[in-house]
Structure 1
Amino acid sequence: MYKIFDREDSDLLHILYGKKGTGKSRRLIAEANRNHVECGENSVFIDKDGDRMYELNRGIRFINASDFCIDGPKMFTGFVCGIAAQDYDLRAIYINSFMKVVKHPPEGLFGMFDFLREFSEKTNIELYISISSENEAPDYLKAFINQ
């Protein structure tokens, strides 16, 4: 089963966390499609490969992260900032298979999540992130968990 994370001081960062095969990707896609249809929001969906591209509404910009050789958290945050900089109307970024995109162990990502929270508040862009892990969430992420 997935867990939804939401930092108390921010409602712009949403994280789905749980074991592989528990429906996180399906839920993320459904949320992106629903928000696009109901709100007409301009959004981007980032995934590790192109397998789910055709499940998204065609108005959602799909980015295959493997095309950009992202090799760590600093490169990923620069990538996200670049996406936001080129599109002033952007309202949401959906990131599927987060750990496979970032290619970094979750234990060392505290600073990146703090940056992403600040980034979303500053730009008013909602971030939806799915994280698959067989392990319990690292301590720094536990503050995001809604029980």
Structure 2
Amino acid sequence: MIQVFCNKRGSGKTKELINLANRNVLTEKGNSVFIDDDSRCMLQVDKKIRFISTSDLGLMSYEGMYGFLCGIISEDYDIENIYIDGLCNIVDCEIENAAHLFYKLDELANRFGINVYISINHEKEAPEFIQKYTNYQLVAN
């Protein structure tokens, strides 16, 4: 399952994602991974959750991000939840070009029974391919 939190910068997506991860770790049977572009929120994430800062990893494309996630999953078959905070901060690309990544992530999540939670900073309405995964989205006026 994929769930996307898509809204403008400063709307509370990171806080909501951290709270979700910390709540889920209390009841889940598998392992969790929290991925962020820096380590600012590392101390807010429960210590049972593996925290990964991508600041030194040089992920530049959606293909690189997909390969990175495949590596994490292949290293630990007990992963139940993956939290990705600020996808567009981690990968230096426009969200409108991420349709192929979401298609591949959907397949990966279903094949391995993993929940993937992604926050995205986006000022406009989410692209159509993301809307089916979104429950928290900027409302157009």
1:63-113 Cα distance to aligned partner (Å, 9 max, x none): 001121100000000000000000011111000011111211111111110
Following superposition, the deviation at residue 14 of structure 1 comes to: 0.7
Cα 1:18/1:89, change in 2 over 3 Å: same
Of 53, 59, 62, which aligns to 2:51?
A: 62
Q: In the aligned structure 1, how far is the partner of 2:42 from the partner of 2:135?
A: 30
Could you say which residue in structure 2 is the equivalent of 1:4?
none
The residue type equivalent to 2:25 in the other structure is: H
Correspondence list, 1:16-55, <5 A: 16-55=5-44
List gaps (5 residues or longer) in structure 2: 137-141
Q: Separation in 1 of the partners of 2:134 and 2:47?
A: 32
Gaps of 5+ in 1: 1-11
Alignment of 1:112-123 (within 5 A): 112-123=101-112
> Which is further off, 131-140 or 121-130?
131-140
TM normalised by structure 1 equals: 0.88
Task: Pick from 121, 133, 136 the counterpart of residue 122 of structure 2.
Answer: 133
**If the length of structure 2 is used for normalisation, what is the TM-score?**
0.91
1:82–1:23 CA distance, 2 compared to 1 (3 A) = same
> Structure 1 pair 30/145, CA: closer, same or farther in 2 (3 Å)?
closer
Contact 1:35 1:41 in 2 (8 A): no
Q: How many residues align?
A: 136
- Percent identity of equivalent pairs: 37
Q: What does 1:98-113 correspond to in 2, within 5 Å?
A: 98-113=87-102
Decide whether aligned partners of structure 1 residues 38 and 145 sit closer, same or farther in structure 2, where only a CA change above 3 A counts: closer
> Taking CA–CA contacts closer than 8 Å with sequence separation of 6 or more, which of the two structures ends up with the larger relative contact order?
2
Q: AA paired with 2:83?
A: Y
Which letter maps to 2:39?
G
Measured after TM superposition, the shift of residue 146 of structure 1 is 4.9
